[in-house]
Structure 1
Protein backbone atom coordinates (compact mmCIF):
# COMPACT_ATOMS: atom_id res chain seq x y z
CA UNK A 1 0.00 0.00 0.00
CA UNK A 2 2.96 2.33 0.46
CA UNK A 3 4.45 1.72 -3.01
CA UNK A 4 5.28 4.89 -4.96
CA UNK A 5 6.68 4.67 -8.49
CA UNK A 6 8.54 7.96 -7.88
CA UNK A 7 9.42 9.96 -4.79
CA UNK A 8 6.84 12.75 -5.21
CA UNK A 9 4.02 10.49 -6.37
CA UNK A 10 1.08 9.31 -4.33
CA UNK A 11 1.40 5.93 -2.67
CA UNK A 12 -0.88 3.18 -3.91
CA UNK A 13 -3.21 3.69 -0.92
CA UNK A 14 -3.16 7.48 -1.34
CA UNK A 15 -4.06 7.10 -5.01
CA UNK A 16 -7.02 4.84 -4.17
CA UNK A 17 -8.24 7.31 -1.53
CA UNK A 18 -7.74 10.21 -3.95
CA UNK A 19 -9.96 8.50 -6.52
CA UNK A 20 -12.80 7.92 -4.05
CA UNK A 21 -12.40 11.30 -2.35
CA UNK A 22 -12.44 13.16 -5.65
CA UNK A 23 -15.59 11.41 -6.83
CA UNK A 24 -17.19 12.32 -3.50
CA UNK A 25 -16.14 15.95 -4.07
CA UNK A 26 -17.56 16.05 -7.61
CA UNK A 27 -20.86 14.47 -6.57
CA UNK A 28 -21.33 16.72 -3.53
CA UNK A 29 -20.35 19.80 -5.55
CA UNK A 30 -23.12 19.04 -8.05
CA UNK A 31 -25.53 18.29 -5.20
CA UNK A 32 -24.76 21.56 -3.39
CA UNK A 33 -24.22 23.77 -6.45
CA UNK A 34 -20.92 25.01 -5.01
CA UNK A 35 -17.47 23.48 -4.55
CA UNK A 36 -17.67 21.01 -1.67
CA UNK A 37 -14.50 19.21 -0.56
CA UNK A 38 -14.60 15.43 -0.49
CA UNK A 39 -14.32 13.32 2.62
CA UNK A 40 -10.83 12.79 4.04
CA UNK A 41 -10.79 9.35 5.67
CA UNK A 42 -8.03 8.30 8.04
CA UNK A 43 -5.19 6.47 6.33
CA UNK A 44 -5.85 2.74 6.51
CA UNK A 45 -3.04 0.50 7.71
CA UNK A 46 -4.12 -2.74 6.02
CA UNK A 47 -5.53 -3.68 2.64
CA UNK A 48 -8.70 -4.86 4.38
CA UNK A 49 -9.15 -1.43 5.96
CA UNK A 50 -8.54 0.22 2.57
CA UNK A 51 -11.17 -2.01 0.95
CA UNK A 52 -13.62 -1.17 3.73
CA UNK A 53 -13.01 2.58 3.37
CA UNK A 54 -13.46 2.39 -0.40
CA UNK A 55 -16.64 0.33 -0.09
CA UNK A 56 -18.18 2.79 2.38
CA UNK A 57 -17.12 5.83 0.33
CA UNK A 58 -18.48 4.28 -2.86
CA UNK A 59 -21.82 3.54 -1.19
CA UNK A 60 -22.11 7.11 0.11
CA UNK A 61 -21.14 8.68 -3.23
CA UNK A 62 -23.54 6.42 -5.11
CA UNK A 63 -26.34 7.60 -2.83
CA UNK A 64 -25.50 11.24 -3.61
CA UNK A 65 -25.37 10.53 -7.36
CA UNK A 66 -28.73 8.74 -7.27
CA UNK A 67 -30.29 11.67 -5.41
CA UNK A 68 -29.32 14.31 -7.99
CA UNK A 69 -32.23 16.05 -9.68
CA UNK A 70 -32.44 17.16 -13.31
CA UNK A 71 -32.21 20.75 -12.05
CA UNK A 72 -28.96 20.04 -10.19
CA UNK A 73 -27.53 18.36 -13.28
CA UNK A 74 -28.36 21.36 -15.47
CA UNK A 75 -27.46 24.16 -13.05
CA UNK A 76 -24.22 26.06 -13.72
CA UNK A 77 -21.54 25.57 -11.07
CA UNK A 78 -18.46 27.72 -10.62
CA UNK A 79 -15.64 25.21 -10.46
CA UNK A 80 -12.28 26.92 -9.99
CA UNK A 81 -13.16 29.77 -12.35
CA UNK A 82 -15.03 27.66 -14.90
CA UNK A 83 -18.80 27.60 -15.17
CA UNK A 84 -19.90 24.01 -15.79
CA UNK A 85 -23.25 22.27 -15.66
CA UNK A 86 -23.63 19.43 -13.20
CA UNK A 87 -23.62 17.06 -16.19
CA UNK A 88 -20.30 18.47 -17.43
CA UNK A 89 -18.77 18.34 -13.97
CA UNK A 90 -19.73 14.68 -13.59
CA UNK A 91 -18.20 13.95 -17.00
CA UNK A 92 -15.00 15.56 -15.69
CA UNK A 93 -15.30 13.33 -12.62
CA UNK A 94 -15.54 10.26 -14.81
CA UNK A 95 -12.53 11.34 -16.88
CA UNK A 96 -10.55 12.04 -13.68
CA UNK A 97 -11.38 8.60 -12.31
CA UNK A 98 -10.44 6.86 -15.56
CA UNK A 99 -7.10 8.70 -15.60
CA UNK A 100 -6.21 7.69 -12.06
CA UNK A 101 -7.49 4.12 -12.42
CA UNK A 102 -5.10 3.76 -15.34
CA UNK A 103 -2.29 4.92 -13.06
CA UNK A 104 -3.45 2.50 -10.38
CA UNK A 105 -3.31 -0.43 -12.80
CA UNK A 106 0.27 0.53 -13.70
CA UNK A 107 1.20 0.69 -10.00
CA UNK A 108 -0.25 -2.78 -9.50
CA UNK A 109 1.55 -4.22 -12.51
CA UNK A 110 4.85 -2.70 -11.31
CA UNK A 111 4.52 -4.51 -7.96
CA UNK A 112 3.80 -7.81 -9.71
CA UNK A 113 0.03 -8.12 -9.50
CA UNK A 114 -1.15 -9.83 -12.67
CA UNK A 115 -4.85 -10.51 -12.06
CA UNK A 116 -6.67 -7.17 -12.29
CA UNK A 117 -10.37 -6.39 -12.65
CA UNK A 118 -11.12 -4.97 -16.05
CA UNK A 119 -14.09 -2.98 -17.25
CA UNK A 120 -17.40 -4.41 -16.09
CA UNK A 121 -20.68 -3.00 -17.42
CA UNK A 122 -23.22 -2.75 -14.63
CA UNK A 123 -26.01 -1.30 -16.75
Structure 2
Protein backbone atom coordinates (compact mmCIF):
# COMPACT_ATOMS: atom_id res chain seq x y z
CA UNK A 1 0.00 0.00 0.00
CA UNK A 2 1.50 3.31 -1.01
CA UNK A 3 2.19 6.23 1.26
CA UNK A 4 -0.47 8.14 -0.68
CA UNK A 5 -3.25 5.78 0.32
CA UNK A 6 -3.15 4.60 3.89
CA UNK A 7 -5.96 3.45 6.14
CA UNK A 8 -5.96 6.94 7.70
CA UNK A 9 -6.11 8.75 4.35
CA UNK A 10 -8.87 6.42 3.14
CA UNK A 11 -10.94 7.18 6.23
CA UNK A 12 -10.43 10.91 5.72
CA UNK A 13 -11.60 10.55 2.11
CA UNK A 14 -14.69 8.72 3.34
CA UNK A 15 -15.30 11.40 5.99
CA UNK A 16 -15.14 14.25 3.45
CA UNK A 17 -17.54 12.47 1.17
CA UNK A 18 -19.96 11.77 4.01
CA UNK A 19 -19.93 15.42 5.10
CA UNK A 20 -21.00 16.41 1.59
CA UNK A 21 -23.62 13.66 1.41
CA UNK A 22 -25.11 14.85 4.70
CA UNK A 23 -25.42 18.37 3.32
CA UNK A 24 -27.27 16.96 0.30
CA UNK A 25 -29.69 15.08 2.59
CA UNK A 26 -30.16 18.18 4.74
CA UNK A 27 -31.11 20.22 1.66
CA UNK A 28 -34.18 18.05 1.01
CA UNK A 29 -37.53 19.02 2.50
CA UNK A 30 -38.33 16.17 4.90
CA UNK A 31 -41.32 14.83 2.97
CA UNK A 32 -39.45 14.86 -0.35
CA UNK A 33 -36.42 13.11 1.16
CA UNK A 34 -38.58 10.02 1.73
CA UNK A 35 -41.07 10.27 -1.12
CA UNK A 36 -39.74 12.11 -4.18
CA UNK A 37 -38.57 10.11 -7.16
CA UNK A 38 -38.51 11.64 -10.62
CA UNK A 39 -39.52 8.36 -12.31
CA UNK A 40 -41.31 5.27 -11.09
CA UNK A 41 -38.25 3.06 -11.55
CA UNK A 42 -36.17 5.25 -9.19
CA UNK A 43 -36.04 5.42 -5.40
CA UNK A 44 -36.31 8.31 -2.95
CA UNK A 45 -32.94 9.68 -1.82
CA UNK A 46 -33.52 8.42 1.74
CA UNK A 47 -33.67 4.84 0.44
CA UNK A 48 -30.34 5.32 -1.32
CA UNK A 49 -28.80 6.68 1.89
CA UNK A 50 -30.03 3.64 3.81
CA UNK A 51 -28.44 1.40 1.17
CA UNK A 52 -24.97 2.90 1.41
CA UNK A 53 -25.18 2.88 5.21
CA UNK A 54 -25.98 -0.86 5.05
CA UNK A 55 -22.98 -1.44 2.79
CA UNK A 56 -20.57 0.65 4.88
CA UNK A 57 -21.58 -1.00 8.12
CA UNK A 58 -21.39 -4.53 6.71
CA UNK A 59 -18.05 -4.07 4.97
CA UNK A 60 -16.31 -2.23 7.80
CA UNK A 61 -17.50 -4.76 10.39
CA UNK A 62 -16.47 -7.65 8.14
CA UNK A 63 -13.04 -6.25 7.37
CA UNK A 64 -12.35 -5.29 10.99
CA UNK A 65 -13.78 -8.31 12.79
CA UNK A 66 -14.40 -11.08 10.26
CA UNK A 67 -18.14 -10.92 11.03
CA UNK A 68 -19.80 -10.65 7.59
CA UNK A 69 -23.49 -9.77 8.07
CA UNK A 70 -25.60 -7.74 5.64
CA UNK A 71 -28.95 -6.57 7.05
CA UNK A 72 -31.01 -4.61 4.51
CA UNK A 73 -33.99 -4.38 6.85
CA UNK A 74 -32.15 -2.77 9.78
CA UNK A 75 -33.06 0.77 8.71
CA UNK A 76 -36.55 0.09 7.32
CA UNK A 77 -38.27 2.03 10.12
CA UNK A 78 -36.28 5.22 9.65
CA UNK A 79 -38.77 7.75 8.30
CA UNK A 80 -37.71 11.20 9.49
CA UNK A 81 -34.85 13.38 8.35
CA UNK A 82 -33.58 13.70 11.92
CA UNK A 83 -33.52 9.91 12.36
CA UNK A 84 -31.80 9.39 9.01
CA UNK A 85 -29.11 11.97 9.75
CA UNK A 86 -28.62 10.46 13.22
CA UNK A 87 -28.22 7.01 11.66
CA UNK A 88 -25.62 8.41 9.25
CA UNK A 89 -23.63 9.64 12.23
CA UNK A 90 -24.15 6.39 14.18
CA UNK A 91 -22.87 4.24 11.30
CA UNK A 92 -19.88 6.50 10.78
CA UNK A 93 -19.14 6.46 14.52
CA UNK A 94 -19.11 2.65 14.46
CA UNK A 95 -16.75 2.87 11.48
CA UNK A 96 -14.44 5.16 13.45
CA UNK A 97 -14.49 2.77 16.41
CA UNK A 98 -13.60 -0.25 14.25
CA UNK A 99 -11.14 1.58 12.00
CA UNK A 100 -8.03 0.98 14.15
CA UNK A 101 -8.45 -2.75 13.34
CA UNK A 102 -8.35 -2.00 9.60
CA UNK A 103 -4.67 -2.18 8.81
CA UNK A 104 -2.94 -1.93 5.45
CA UNK A 105 -2.61 -5.72 5.57
CA UNK A 106 -6.37 -6.14 6.12
CA UNK A 107 -7.08 -3.77 3.21
CA UNK A 108 -4.82 -5.81 0.92
CA UNK A 109 -6.29 -9.16 2.00
CA UNK A 110 -8.40 -10.85 -0.68
CA UNK A 111 -11.52 -12.67 0.48
CA UNK A 112 -14.67 -14.05 -1.07
CA UNK A 113 -17.53 -11.57 -1.32
CA UNK A 114 -20.53 -13.15 0.35
CA UNK A 115 -22.84 -10.18 -0.20
CA UNK A 116 -22.98 -9.41 -3.91
CA UNK A 117 -21.48 -12.49 -5.57
CA UNK A 118 -18.41 -10.68 -6.86
CA UNK A 119 -16.04 -13.53 -6.03
CA UNK A 120 -12.70 -12.92 -4.41
CA UNK A 121 -11.71 -9.28 -4.01
CA UNK A 122 -9.52 -7.21 -1.75
CA UNK A 123 -10.99 -5.45 1.21
CA UNK A 124 -9.72 -2.18 -0.26
CA UNK A 125 -11.80 -2.89 -3.36
CA UNK A 126 -14.84 -3.36 -1.15
CA UNK A 127 -14.35 -0.01 0.55
CA UNK A 128 -13.70 1.74 -2.77
CA UNK A 129 -16.96 0.22 -4.05
CA UNK A 130 -18.79 1.49 -0.95
CA UNK A 131 -17.35 4.97 -1.51
CA UNK A 132 -18.23 4.93 -5.22
CA UNK A 133 -21.75 3.77 -4.39
CA UNK A 134 -22.23 6.70 -2.02
CA UNK A 135 -20.85 9.15 -4.59
CA UNK A 136 -23.13 7.72 -7.29
CA UNK A 137 -26.23 8.07 -5.12
CA UNK A 138 -25.20 11.52 -3.93
CA UNK A 139 -25.09 12.55 -7.60
CA UNK A 140 -28.65 11.32 -7.94
CA UNK A 141 -29.53 13.42 -4.90
CA UNK A 142 -28.08 16.50 -6.64
CA UNK A 143 -30.31 15.87 -9.66
CA UNK A 144 -33.37 15.30 -7.46
CA UNK A 145 -32.73 18.59 -5.66
CA UNK A 146 -32.40 20.48 -8.95
CA UNK A 147 -35.64 18.94 -10.26
CA UNK A 148 -37.31 20.12 -7.04
CA UNK A 149 -35.98 23.63 -7.67
CA UNK A 150 -33.54 23.45 -4.74
CA UNK A 151 -29.94 24.59 -5.12
CA UNK A 152 -27.73 21.71 -3.92
CA UNK A 153 -24.71 22.36 -1.70
CA UNK A 154 -21.43 23.24 -3.42
CA UNK A 155 -19.64 20.09 -4.48
CA UNK A 156 -16.19 21.39 -3.61
CA UNK A 157 -16.93 22.01 0.10
CA UNK A 158 -16.02 18.89 2.07
TM > 0.5 between the two? yes
- Match of 1:52? 86
Return 44-53 or 31-40, whichever deviates more. 31-40
In structure 1, C-alpha distance between the alignment counterparts of 2:52 and 2:149, rounded to whole Å: 22
Is residue 27 from structure 1 mapped to residue 60 from structure 2 by the alignment? Answer: yes
The one of 32, 40, 44 equivalent to 1:11 is 44
SS in 2 for 1:6: coil
Compare relative contact order (CA 8 Å, sep 6+) and give the higher one, 1 or 2.
Answer: 2
Contact kept, 8 Å, 1:30 with 1:72, in 2: the verdict is yes
Change beyond 3 A, Cα 1:25–1:108: farther
Question: Considering only aligned residues, what root-mean-square deviation do their CA atoms show, in Å?
Answer: 2.3
How far 1:3 moved relative to its partner? 0.8
Return 4-13 or 27-36, whichever deviates more. 27-36
In structure 1, C-alpha distance between the alignment counterparts of 2:124 and 2:76, rounded to whole Å: 30
- Match of 2:22? none
How far 1:38 moved relative to its partner? 4.8
How far 1:30 moved relative to its partner? 2.2
SS in 2 for 1:108: helix
Deviations 1:61-108 (A, max 9, x none): 233334312332121111224211112221222222211111121122
The one of 106, 115, 133 equivalent to 1:96 is 133
Return 62-71 or 43-52, whichever deviates more. 62-71
Aligned length: 121
Return 62-71 or 87-96, whichever deviates more. 62-71
The one of 98, 104, 120 equivalent to 1:64 is 98
